[in-house]
Amino acid sequence: MDYNQVFRERTKNFSILIIRSLSSLPYSDDISIIRKQIIRSATSVAANYRAVSRARSEKEKFAKICIVVEEIDETQLWLEIIEELNYLSSEKMVFLKSECEELVKVMTKYKFRLSQL
């Protein structure tokens, strides 16, 4: 199994899910700011994970995975804020938070593994 491809797709699909989940929310200043921030961080996870698989050196790969971990952690923060403000249904939140948590765990473990090389 090509785990690189699996997680390229998974991070991209997570970004799309975030965009779709938040695009239906009505406009307000606070929602607009939160929507912009979480979409930026979630899409950055996907873009930087793609860069990890294209890295030209181990140092570059490590630098990119560090960005991925930062961005998925930020995405997790925005999901917590969205949940506390009750902007999305609990059903949507359960899935989004679960997928985000799994990505945090995988990317953090990957980062640790690369740091040992």
Mean predicted confidence (pLDDT) in 40-64: 96
Angle between helices 58-84 and 90-115 (to 10 degrees): 160
For residue 1, name the pLDDT band (cuts at 50, 70, 90): confident
List b or e across 52-73, with b for residues whose CB sees 16 or more CB atoms inside 10 angstroms: beeeeeeeebbebbbbbbbbbb
Q: Cα separation of 91 and 103, whole Å?
A: 19
Q: Per residue in 70-79, pLDDT tens?
A: 999 999 999 9
CATH number at residue 67: 1.20.1440.60
Residue-number span of the structural domain to which 72 is assigned = 3-115
Q: For residue 15, give both structure tokens.
A: 């970004």
Tally of domains in the chain = 1
Start-to-end C-alpha separation, the chain = 22
Cβ atoms 111, 69 nearer than 8 A? yes
What is the DSSP-derived secondary structure letter of residue 116?
A: T
Q: Per residue in 12-48, pLDDT tens?
A: 999 999 999 999 999 999 999 999 999 999 999 999 9
For residue 117, name the pLDDT band (cuts at 50, 70, 90): confident
Q: What is the pTM of this model?
A: 0.94
